[in-house]
Structure 1
Amino acid sequence: MSLLSRFFYKRPPDGLLEFIDRIYVFDSCFCTEVLPHGMYPVYLNGILTELHEEHAESQFLAINFRDGDKRSQLADILHEYDIPVIDYPRHFEGCPVLPLSLIHHFLRVCEHWLSTGNSQNIVLLHCERGGWPSLAFLLSCFLIFKKLHSAEHRTLDIVHREAPKGFLQLFSALNPMPSQLRYMQYVARRNISPEWPPMERALSLDCLILRAIPNFDSDNGCRPLIRIFGRNLLGKNASMTDMIFSMPKKKSLRHYRQEDCDVIKIDIQCPVQGDVVMECVHLDLDPEKEVMMFRIMFNTAFIRSNVLMLNSDDVDILWGSKDRYPRNFRAEVLFCEIGGISPPRAPTVTLNGDMKGGLPIEAFSAVQELFNDVEWMESGDNAAFWLLKEFSANSLQDKFQKLILSDMKELSKFQAKVGLQMPLMSPLDSDEEKYSAASDSGYSVDYEKVQHGGNSSDSENIDRALTTEDSESIAPPPPPQAPKPPGTVPPPPPSSKISNAPAPPPVLGRGRAATGSAKGRGIGLALQSNPPKKASLKPLHWVKVTRAMQGSLWADAQNQGNQARAPDIDMSELETLFSTAVATNASVKGGTKRGSAISKPEIVHLVDMRRANNCEIMLTKIKMPLPDMISAILALDTSVLDNDQVENLIKFCPTNEEIEMLKNYNGNKEMLGKCEQFFLELMKVPRVESKLRVFAFRIAFSTQADELRTNLTTINDATKEVKESLKLRQIMQTILTLGNALNQGTARGSAVGFRLDSLLKLSDTRARNNKMTLMHYLCKLLAEKLPELLDFDKDLIHLEAASKIQLKLLAEEMQAINKGLEKVEQELAASVNDGAISVGFRKALTSFLDSAEAVVRSLISLYSEVGRNADSLAQYFGEDPARCPFEQVTSILVIFVNMFKKSRDENARTVEAEKKKMEKEKASMSTIKGSE
């Protein structure tokens, strides 16, 4: 206090304590006992009388922190002295920290009141019993707000020193200082932000992760229960605060022990906005016995990277309970955008074969290949749905053939292998199944020859078969075959010719032959016992029309009959020209070879053939034995498998249906295909897909973290360069002087600054001769007066790179890293019960997690710093970060720098041209004078 101020200093009346100039606190706020009812008015009247006598020219404002909603006795007494009273609550949902809006209101009211009335107005602070923690907090906020103190923790300690020792513990069971310090840091940002408080974000509080288990019971563990208080965004009145989330009190509430696990993850999925209080309570075996573990209060406006990481010093805990928390204890509150809450998935709607949601229609393209010859014996929606998928798959046949042909070399090997296997029958098939397959195949061939106009001998044979059957009575169709018992080998896939096109609709001849008497069936069987060999033709990849639209040429052709009949096709010529392979005599007549082929054991395929082929192609690109590949996955060995290979392995993890199919297979597993063998190896590892995803994150983590760190560092460097560039500062001052000179005598003149986007208007302002802009003139002026400023762009080497970075994308990358680490922790916790197979995996994952957590902590710290620097860059130019974000500031500066350089270079070329012109004129003048 200066000598002059001490001379004019007025001692406050008895009963008041002066914390700041003209801010008094009633000393009753420091009493542990309540004054008797009759003594309280006497106490207040004595203070107020003396106060009016000593400050007769002052006006007074009283701020009271009251208990409940009823009118306080203080307000009734002060009303008699014409002193207005503003009441504030003592706490917010049990926490002695007021919402940010009330803090803002308190600061504005106090600042406004003290700045009016010729600086003689006085603020009186009063609290009812239990209100001291909130009063001390708001008083500390005001000291930070007025920049009388800068260190938040020290400021709060200074205020609490005025109260008796242990006074805070008397009124608050938990230490409220961590939450109070967090809000004081919010207030400290008010000094660098023109608009405060910032807009509150609506977020979804995703989950709470506790690392290192606190000790709250005899088993060195805890049974946490979470409650959240805040605005009910889903209610009718979103401005009212209430308990918006609470875990149910159940005896089955999970109990965590330090020896069992070191991570607790509690899913919440609760929308929050504004001020939020989260309580974590330890629930004992008795549901009515609760122990507060910790409390957190925060505001969503200041959640930068959708994560809030806190240690034991950053949460409100019981006094003297610090030893209950391990040294490495950390609470992580993870958020996501409010749109990230997935609504319940609607039932999948099928329309014209397209799946709305769920799997794409391409996933069903293999249905026809596997079940082409199966007759659907059930009626109803299921049969219609199956047929609809079958027809839709045919229309995409060409697309999938192109997809499979992406690797022609590998595909040819599989086609050759499959071609040898398809004609074979399983040794487990019964005679009846062989007969059924042979009869179906035979009639398919005959019918195709009839449709394509085969040779006369074939047609005559078919006519004889039909004529013979006509003489017999038509018997009812045979009953469907009983389903095969589980564990039997499924029938072999159909031939490639049938799979290339759908089965044609049956005609009368085929239908009657298939449903005839025993005699008719015997003739048909004899007819097909030695069918002529038909060459395999190359397919025409067209899009087939299954139903002729009325009025189209296909419908007219059916109606006109023979009038629009197409010419007969010479099948022998067609086979000669368009056959896929020329059959040798040995392959046609070699009965011995066929017999030897039948005797070979068949490779059994349980998985969808198309998926199996794609899986085998993928495995050929990895080129290592399956056990070695599994070992590399469990060791997280990045030198053996790269990210693309791991992603492909994830795509071909067995589904639940495939796992059940392989488990129920009782045959010789050595006869299974490569895909099935691969699935069996993967099934030996618990949660193999989850482990593969962790492996993929492990591979990509270092690159992702390095890129994020590089972008964050670039923003920091660019911000530092702009703010520390003296040349840019001088150029901005020159532009201000230039603009005031042009706007002199107008409403735009006498400016103390200008908006940042005004820099872009320098090139729009042209001289009267339209040969020069104001930017050209600025460069000309600087070249004449301050030439050292012309290369100011060399000070801003990171500006252009920073202008291409979006803070929103950086936040998403930060959230993706946090989510990835969460999955890593989940899998690490789950792998404890895997047994010996995951020992190496846990060791490798633990080592990675330790290093990754340190990286993420540093990234979050760097991101927070970047957020502050990005806001300060806009404030450096007098802009509001909410209206002129970092991306806009950097883009404007980059455009200005480029325009400045362009104008500078154009001026240099103009000066050089004028110089050459003058030299040329001078030379011509010298020539003229010499000639005279």
Structure 2
Amino acid sequence: LAPQPKAPPSPPAPQALELPPNASPVLSSGPSPPPAPKASQPPPSGPSPPTAPKAAPPPPPPSKSGGPLPPPPALPGSSKTRPPPLMKSGNKTDTDEDSSEAKTKLKPFFWDKVATNANKSMVWDHLKAGSFQLSEDAIETLFGCNADKKSGDAKKDIASKEAAQVVRILDPKKAQNLAISLKALSVSAEEVSCAVKEGNELPSDLIQTLIRWVPSTDEELRLRLYTGELSQLGPAEQFLKAIFDIPYIYERLDALLFMAGLPEETSNVKQSFATLEMACEELKNSRLFLKLLEAVLKTGNRMNVGTFRGGAQAFKLDTLLKLSDVKGTDGKITLLHFVVQEMIHSEGVRSARAAKEQTGSVSSVDNNDLIEEEYKQLGLQAVSSLGDELQNVRNAAILDADQLAMSVASVVHRLGKTKEFLNTSMKSLDEDSGFHRKLVHFVEQSQTDVTFLLEEEKKIRSLVKSTVDYFHGRTGKDEGLRLFVVVRDFLAMLDKVCNEVKEASKVTPKKTKTEFPHTQVFSRSPA
């Protein structure tokens, strides 16, 4: 096949737009409408020349009123639609969401919304739209989110600026704790400096706080060498910087703390020594307690007849705590109950005879002359009073011998330390201040009190040991105050049994001798 000849090029399209027939151009004084864009010419697809596209119709002439021109017509083949006409500014087109966005955002109020039912009458249908009006200014001021955020941001900015301006020298934890304590105690550096110079009393909590959070050697040196603005230091650094001007400030504070606490400490130690002394005297001289020991000794020997435990002449007071462990054949009555019943009988007879003698009766009183209930009540009252008779023994059992010794040793040590500070550091200053004069007087007076405590401690130690030997013999072992603890625990057991006997006598009928026989283990004659 022969190649086909190429088609001749088509003539160029005319530049001017062709007007439709019966149309004449209109001249207008207003702005001319924009020209319609040129229609694009399709490329040749064959030997025949393409036909020229029809031109778009011209826009209509502008209106005489001089208003805005209408938008140009859409191009052929364009899928875009015309934009909606502009509404006048007076028309309200905002939705509820747009209006809510325009308002100040408030804090959320969490509630459960209920969907209304158009087919059913509800209470919400009766609410009138204009019967209640909110105060927008008030609710925005009270519950607005922007104000809180702004104030919070402002506070953060202020705090960050302050933190940037504060110069930190102390350890952060130490500075924080010291600042909190100083604020709680409401004291200034000037008040502390004046009290230290004059030797006036300061709160013990304050001195203990300052001594507890004492700065290290490096921190103290940096504070002393600091020459910047004091306002740039933290509260703790400012306080310490002010009191560091006083020489030996922490030694003075320690001396003031010792001066304030020594009278109370020595008084407590003296009171403890007095309690121990009276406890020793009560144990040695209590007739009822010795009678109780006699009852336990004879009861124990009777139970141990025929064994190597029998024939005892003494026993350790720890044995008193074992009386409640031995139960009778009924499984209820213990050996302690038996001893208490025998003591009640013996002390009841003795109390009844003493009462007869005081009334001037010359007739002798035998067991047959007393009814059971009478001497039982008298004896129970006498045995129950043993705890009151040994009250100082109870108090002595609370004390700690090691703690007392440590208290005395601490007083001696701190007094020696204070004397050394007075004779060395204060002497080198050649200071004639109120603190120096009060410290000299305190050391002289305290030396007498401390010497008395040392002598009293030595005397009480010897007294307690002799009391232990009085009951236990020379064991050669320092038991401390354990003797008083044993007696205190036994007195608690004794009080419990006496209360049981008292309660039983209220609910049970009167017992005769045959119902509760008294064995002749030991003599019932009064002591």
1:859 alignment counterpart: 453
Q: Tell me if the contact between 1:626 and 1:678 (Cα under 8 Å) persists in the aligned partners.
A: yes
Contact 1:686 1:834 survives alignment (8 Å):
no
Deviation at 1:723, TM superposition (A): 0.8
Q: Aligned residue for 1:582?
A: 149
Matched with 1:619 is 182
Q: Structure 1: where are the runs of 5+ without partners?
A: 1-576, 588-592, 919-932
SS of the residue corresponding to residue 391 of structure 2 reads coil
Cα distance in 2, alignment partners of residues 898 and 613 from structure 1: 50
CA distance in 2 between counterparts of 1:669 and 1:679 reads 11
Higher relative contact order (CA 8 A, sep 6+): 2
Residues 1:626 and 1:780: Cα distance change in structure 2 (over 3 Å): same
Distance 1:758 1:828, change over 3 A: same
**CA distance, structure 2, for counterparts of residue 748 and residue 914 of structure 1:** 37
- 1: distance between equivalents of 2:146 and 2:481? 64
Q: Deviation of residue 645 (structure 1)?
A: 0.8
What CA distance in whole angstroms lies between the structure 1 residues aligned with 2:464 and 2:269? 16
Asked if residue 637 in structure 1 is aligned to residue 200 in structure 2, the reply is yes
Secondary structure of the 1:786 match is helix
Specify whether residues 832 and 771 from structure 1 end up closer, same or farther in structure 2 by C-alpha distance, changes over 3 A only.
closer
Q: Distance in 1 between matches of 2:508 and 2:178?
A: 74
| Residues 623 and 724 of structure 1, relative CA distance in 2, 3 Å threshold | same
Determine which of 284, 299, 306 is the counterpart of 1:738. 299
Partner of 1:846: 440
What is the DSSP-based 3-state SS (H/G/I as helix, E as strand, rest coil) of the residue aligned with 2:195?
Answer: helix
State the alpha-carbon separation in 1 of the partners of residues 302 and 152 from structure 2.
103
Task: Give the 3 Å change call, closer, same or farther, for CA 854–741 of structure 1 in structure 2.
Answer: same
Taking the aligned partners of 2:475 and 2:445, their CA distance within structure 1 comes to 35
Task: Please list, as runs of the form range in 1=range in 2, the aligned pairs for 1:52-91 lying within 5 A after superposition.
Answer: none
* Partner in structure 2 of residue 776 of structure 1: 337
1:687 to 233, 248, 251: 248
Look up the match of 2:119: none
The 1:779/1:692 distance shift into structure 2, 3 A limit, reads same
Aligned to 2:422: 828
Task: Quote the offset at 1:584 in angstroms.
Answer: 7.1
Q: 1:648 to 1:837 in 2, by over 3 A?
A: farther
Other-structure match for 1:870: 464
Q: Name the amino acid aligned to 1:747.
A: F
The residue that corresponds to 1:906 in the other structure is 500
Aligned-residue offset at 1:631: 1.6
Cα–Cα, structure 1 residues 584 and 660, in superposed 2: closer, same or farther, change >3 Å? closer
- Distance in 2, Cα, partners of 1:614 & 1:762: 56
**Cα deviation, residue 760, structure 1:** 2.0
What is the rounded CA distance, in whole Å, between the counterparts of 2:257 and 2:147 in structure 1? Answer: 43
Between the aligned partners of 2:212 and 2:389, the Cα distance in structure 1 is: 49
**Residue by residue, what CA displacement relative to the aligned partner does 1:270-294 show, whole Å, maximum 9, x if unpaired?**
xxxxxxxxxxxxxxxxxxxxxxxxx
1:315-334 matches, within 5 Å, as none
Change (3 A) 1:736 1:690: same
Q: Which has the higher helix share?
A: 2
Amino acid of the structure 2 residue aligned with 1:643: S
- Which is further off, 789-798 or 808-817? 789-798
- The residue aligned with 1:715 is 276
In structure 1, the residue matched to 2:322 is 761
1:516-541 deviations in whole A, cap 9, x for unaligned? xxxxxxxxxxxxxxxxxxxxxxxxxx
CA distance in 2, matches of 1:585, 1:891: 63
Instruction: Provide the C-alpha distance between the structure 2 equivalents of 1:586 and 1:643, rounded to a whole number of angstroms.
Output: 42
Matches within 5 A, 1:226-625: 582-583=149-150, 604-607=167-170, 611-625=174-188
- 8 Å contact 1:653–1:679 — kept in the other structure? no
Shift of 1:698: 2.0
Task: Return the structure number with greater strand share.
Answer: 1
The residue number in structure 2 matching 1:646 is 207
Aligned-pair identity (%): 22
How far did 1:907 drift? 2.6
Cα–Cα, structure 1 residues 763 and 669, in superposed 2: closer, same or farther, change >3 Å? Answer: closer
Q: What's the CA shift for 1:758? A: 1.7
Q: 1: CA distance between counterparts of 2:321 and 2:289?
A: 15
Classify the secondary structure of the residue corresponding to 2:464. Answer: helix
Change in 2 beyond 3 A, CA 1:579/1:712: farther
The normalised TM-score by structure 1 is: 0.33
| 8 Å Cα contact 2:192-2:243 kept in structure 1 | no
Structure 2 CA distance for aligned equivalents of residues 835 and 580 of structure 1: 61
| Contact kept? 2:200, 2:435, Cα under 8 Å | no
Secondary structure of the structure 2 residue equivalent to 1:772: coil
Contact 1:715/1:802, CA 8 A, preserved across alignment:
yes
Deviation sequence 1:487-542 (CA, Å, 0-9, x none): xxxxxxxxxxxxxxxxxxxxxxxxxxxxxxxxxxxxxxxxxxxxxxxxxxxxxxxx
SS of the equivalent of 2:243 reads: helix
Q: 1:804 and 2:381 equivalent?
A: no
Larger radius of gyration: 2
Seen in structure 2, the aligned counterparts of structure 1 residues 784 and 685 have a Cα distance that, compared at 3 Å, is same
Letter in 2 for 1:810: L
* TM-score normalised over the length of structure 2: 0.56
Distance 1:857 1:912 in 2: 57
Q: 1:881 to 1:691 in 2, by over 3 A?
A: farther
